[in-house]
């Protein structure tokens, strides 16, 4: 897709990216006071839009904001940003807006800043990825998709510095999620993933994987996974809207299973691609 100066949406207007300007007093800039969503688009269609907008509303409620637009208005904006039929993702960010005075407390009568753009989705690398485990140093409201991502940034960079593509985070001995993904592990033939809680983002891809697995009678469990269990898992996957289902072949320098994407991943990846294709056909 690589459009050089794409059209973006900012506060009621569509404009070229290089014309978009936000106040330095914006609370997103000053405090990281805002939330976001990433919605995949396959074959020109928004993927699981209802689920993404529901999570958006939950995130807004979690930081004491009202939705600035309704479902229909969001959809109209996103449709204008989608370029062609290739796989892409809508990025939507809402901050509390710019107040005249820098004050931590939430100001009354501030107008939210609303920004949306479309970005390409890069294909999943063949052959699987390496990951490292790190201490989950984040806050206790990880179910809110907040733009305040400094811990995630530092964790991801630490993983890259150690030759991994992602960090799997461990909180009090249990797996929570990746720095920007959810985690699945095949343990004793069961596809397990940590339960929803304040310590993980309720991933839309995560829910879909569980749904598809159950439809195809693959045994699943939403339960706590200890680091020791993760280390003996026969398969580990990372899931997210932009990386779909990514097989992990090395954990902290040790092979996962046979060191290649496992049979259950092959199976579910094919099911997932087929599911995506049914959306394209329905157009
Ligand atoms: N991140 N957990 C975290 C911490 C994430 O940042 C993400 C996604 C997920 C997966 O959620 P979903 O399946 O709904 O994409 C889990 C997005 C893609 C990002 O920050 O760019």
The last residue of one of the domains, among 65, 93, 120, is 120
Verify whether ligand 1 is closer than 6 Å to residue 203 (CB atom): yes
Are residues 230 and 103 located together in one domain of the fold? no
Nearest to 118 by CA among 34, 41, 19, 49: 41
Are residues 89 and 149 located together in one domain of the fold? no
| Residue 19: HSE in the Cβ half-sphere, 13 Å Cα cutoff | 10
**114, two tokens:** 């609303």
| β pairing state of 129-135 and 244-251 | parallel
| Residue 69: HSE in the Cβ half-sphere, 13 Å Cα cutoff | 20
Domain, as residue range, for 99? 7-120
* 40 CA → ligand 1 middle, Å: 11
Which CATH number do you get for residue 83? 3.30.470.10
pLDDT tens digit at each of 283 positions of the chain: 567 899 999 999 999 999 999 999 999 999 999 999 999 999 999 999 999 999 999 999 999 999 999 999 999 999 999 998 899 999 999 999 999 999 999 999 999 999 999 999 988 777 899 999 999 999 999 999 999 999 999 999 999 999 999 999 999 999 999 999 999 999 999 999 999 999 999 999 999 999 999 999 999 999 999 999 999 999 999 999 999 999 999 999 999 999 999 999 999 999 999 998 887 765 5
Whether 145 is catalytic: yes
Verify whether ligand 1 is closer than 6 Å to residue 204 (CB atom): yes
Are residues 72 and 139 located together in one domain of the fold? no
Query: What's the domain count of the chain?
Result: 2
Which residue has tokens 């940590």?
194
Verify whether ligand 1 is closer than 6 Å to residue 235 (CB atom): no
Are residues 14 and 146 located together in one domain of the fold? no
The last residue of one of the domains, among 120, 149, 173, is 120
Are residues 140 and 270 located together in one domain of the fold? yes
2 domain-assigned: no
pTM of this prediction? 0.96
Q: How far apart are CA 246 and CA 183, in angstroms?
A: 10
Q: How far apart are CA 195 and CA 276, in angstroms?
A: 25
């Amino acid at each position: 897709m690589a459009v050089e100066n794409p059209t973006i949406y900012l506060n009621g207007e569509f404009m070229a990216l290089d014309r978009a300007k936000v106040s330095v007093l914006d609370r997103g800039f000053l405090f990281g006071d805002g939330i976001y969503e990433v919605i995949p688009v396959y074959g020109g269609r928004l993927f699981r839009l209802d689920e993404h907008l529901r999570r958006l509303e939950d995130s807004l409620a979690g930081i004491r904001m009202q939705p600035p637009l309704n479902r229909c208005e969001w959809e109209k904006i996103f449709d204008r940003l989608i370029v062609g039929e290739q796989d892409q993702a809508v990025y939507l960010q809402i901050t509390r807006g710019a107040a005249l005075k820098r004050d931590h407390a939430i100001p009354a009568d501030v107008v939210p800043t609303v920004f949306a753009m479309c970005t390409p989705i890069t294909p999943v690398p063949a052959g699987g990825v390496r990951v490292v485990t790190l201490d989950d140093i984040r806050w206790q409201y990880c179910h809110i998709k907040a733009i305040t991502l400094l811990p995630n940034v530092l964790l991801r960079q630490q993983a890259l510095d150690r030759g991994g593509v992602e960090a799997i985070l461990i909180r009090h001995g249990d797996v929570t999620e990746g720095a920007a993904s959810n985690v699945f592990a095949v343990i004793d033939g069961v596809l397990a993933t940590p339960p929803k809680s304040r310590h993980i983002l309720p991933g839309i891809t995560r829910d879909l994987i569980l749904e598809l697995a159950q439809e195809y009678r693959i045994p699943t469990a939403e339960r706590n996974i200890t680091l020791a269990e993760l280390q003996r898992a026969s398969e580990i996957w990372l899931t997210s809207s932009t990386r779909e289902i990514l097989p992990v072949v090395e954990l902290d320098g040790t092979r996962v299973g046979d060191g290649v994407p496992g049979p259950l991943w092959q199976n579910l990846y094919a099911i997932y691609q087929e599911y995506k294709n049914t959306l394209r056909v329905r157009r």
